[in-house]
Amino acid sequence: MMRPMKLAGSQLMFGEGCLEFLAQLDTKRASLVIGGHSMEKSGILDKVVKILEENKVEVSIIRDVEPDPSFKTVITGAKKMLEFEPDTIIALGGGSVMDAAKTMWVYYEHPELKTLEDILPPNDFPKLHIKAKFVCIPSTAGTASEVSRSVVISDENGMKHGIGNMEMMPDVAICDPLVTLSMPLATTADTGLDALTHALEAFASTRANYLSDILATQSAIDIINTLPKVFKNRNDVKLREIMLNASMVAGLAFTNVSLGIVHSMAHTVGSYFHVPHGLANAIILPYIIEFNSQNEVAKNKYDDFVKQLGKDKPLQNIIRDLNSQLNIPSNFSSVIKDRSLYLEKLDEMAECAKSDGCTKTNPIIPTIEQFKELFLLIFPEKGEC
Ligand SMILES: [Fe+2]
């Protein structure tokens, strides 16, 4: 049975210059969550603070959210929020910043919650939007956390936990391509391919429907056609705008119909070997499209998509061509240094990927043995590929 679709929070802004929408927020006190220094260097942080302060908003900045944010960072940020008592939380940054800020929001709204397990199943997810509304300003075009109900937070052992609940859907998403201009090339490629993986996994999801297919198809076409151009013209605002919009639209699709085993395996190698999320997805994606093509429904959908794209080769080969244009390696051999440790962890990794929430909606649910074979396929012995 189809589940209800929710497309973003109450306000979704996109297009060049839409950052100015911040002036219309009904807020008096805002906690602004950022990562490293990129938003400072690009001048965007100053611009955001200026717009807010000109509108008599008191701003408190929570800095230094790290990539793959930890629960410790979440609790530290939530404590600062409890002291400042914001009526609005603004996340300015990439997926890690948005995910960390969303999770800080949970523990700010509910200081009685103490551990990460408190919000993991089987515990009930708490109600949000009581003390504060939540605003996202993405600085990358990829994770779509600005329109998603999910976060990924690492526990004290570095294991990543994907948590999804519609309570965490941001109230306002401000997707201004000018904010993404400072993104380095490698991040542009990795995050853009994360967005493409969102689109293609939502498209093949066993929960896909008429509306999610429209969103997923168009965003995937736009990303495939635009990403190589952005890679050559990183300062082209129009191209950045297409990528940011496409990433957001792919997010609208996947947050409703979920993903597949590219994400399950990427979360796993992210936890065990700290492979960046977008890069892991990009490497794994063509292998899984090939694997999923054993399922007739998925194969027909992929073939149909290729026709809409105006190409005439298997989708996995289109992705391989795209990856090579973006300097993405064809397997993990240059990304994970210790193959013997990878082999040692194979059983654990297969279990981890199998139990990942994204596995449930893949066209084929692999057995543990199949997961092990897939992990081996993506990290062949030298000279095997
Ligand atoms: Fe992703």
pLDDT, position 160:
87
The ranges assigned to domains in the chain are 11-180, 185-378
Q: 262 alpha carbon to ligand 1 midpoint, in Å?
A: 9
Global pTM reads 0.95
pLDDT digits (tens, 9 = 90+) for 19-41: 999 999 999 999 999 998 999 99
The three state secondary structure string of 55-93 is CCCEEEEECCCCCCCEHHHHHHHHHHHHHHCCCEEEEEE
Would you say 71 and 12 are in contact if contact means Cβ atoms under 8 Å apart? no
pLDDT, position 384:
53
φ, ψ for residue 70, nearest 5 deg = -95, 160
| 163 bridge partner residues | 151
Report the amino acid identity of residue 12: L
pLDDT digits (tens, 9 = 90+) for 156-204: 988 889 899 999 999 999 999 999 998 999 999 999 999 999 999 999 9
219 vs 97: CA distance, rounded Å = 23
Q: 284 alpha carbon to ligand 1 midpoint, in Å?
A: 12
CATH placement of domain 11-180: 3.40.50.1970
DSSP codes of every residue in 183-226: --HHHHHHHHHHHHHHHHHHHH-TT--HHHHHHHHHHHHHHHHH
Cα Rg for the chain, rounded, in angstroms? 20
pLDDT digits (tens, 9 = 90+) for 76-113: 999 999 999 999 999 999 999 999 999 999 999 999 99
Q: 122 alpha carbon to ligand 1 midpoint, in Å?
A: 24
351 vs 267: CA distance, rounded Å = 12
Q: 347 alpha carbon to ligand 1 midpoint, in Å?
A: 23
Residues near 232 by beta carbon (within 8 Å), at least 6 away in sequence: none
Q: 203 alpha carbon to ligand 1 midpoint, in Å?
A: 14
Report the amino acid identity of residue 24: Q
User: Is the pLDDT assigned to residue 16 strictly greater than 50?
Assistant: yes
pLDDT, position 338:
94
Q: 223 alpha carbon to ligand 1 midpoint, in Å?
A: 14
Peptide linkage before 329 cis (omega within 30 of 0)? no
| 62 bridge partner residues | 33
Q: 149 alpha carbon to ligand 1 midpoint, in Å?
A: 12
> What is the average pLDDT across 212-223?
98
Q: 251 alpha carbon to ligand 1 midpoint, in Å?
A: 9
Q: 24 alpha carbon to ligand 1 midpoint, in Å?
A: 31
75 vs 2: CA distance, rounded Å = 36
DSSP codes of every residue in 2-21: PPPP--SSSEEEESTTGGGG
pLDDT digits (tens, 9 = 90+) for 342-383: 999 999 999 999 999 999 999 999 999 999 999 999 999 875
Strands (E), the chain: 11-14, 29-33, 58-62, 88-93, 133-138, 150-154, 160-164, 172-175
**Does the fold of domain 185-378 match that of domain 11-180?**
no
Structure tokens at 9: 């929070």
Q: 104 alpha carbon to ligand 1 midpoint, in Å?
A: 20
273 vs 342: CA distance, rounded Å = 8
- CA nearest to 263, candidates 341, 351, 362: 362
Would you say 185 and 199 are in contact if contact means Cβ atoms under 8 Å apart? no
Would you say 272 and 349 are in contact if contact means Cβ atoms under 8 Å apart? yes
334 vs 343: CA distance, rounded Å = 16
Q: 249 alpha carbon to ligand 1 midpoint, in Å?
A: 13
Q: What is the mean pLDDT of the chain?
A: 96
The verdict on domain 185-378 having CATH code 1.20.1090.10 is: yes
Q: 84 alpha carbon to ligand 1 midpoint, in Å?
A: 32
Q: 224 alpha carbon to ligand 1 midpoint, in Å?
A: 16
pLDDT digits (tens, 9 = 90+) for 324-346: 999 999 999 999 999 999 999 99
Category of 176 on φ-ψ map: left (φ > 0), alpha (ψ -120 to 50) or beta: beta
Q: 63 alpha carbon to ligand 1 midpoint, in Å?
A: 23
Q: 240 alpha carbon to ligand 1 midpoint, in Å?
A: 19
Q: 258 alpha carbon to ligand 1 midpoint, in Å?
A: 11
> What is the average pLDDT across 280-309?
98
pLDDT over 70 for what percent of the chain? 99
User: Is the pLDDT assigned to residue 385 strictly greater than 50?
Assistant: no
Q: 22 alpha carbon to ligand 1 midpoint, in Å?
A: 27
> What is the average pLDDT across 43-57?
97
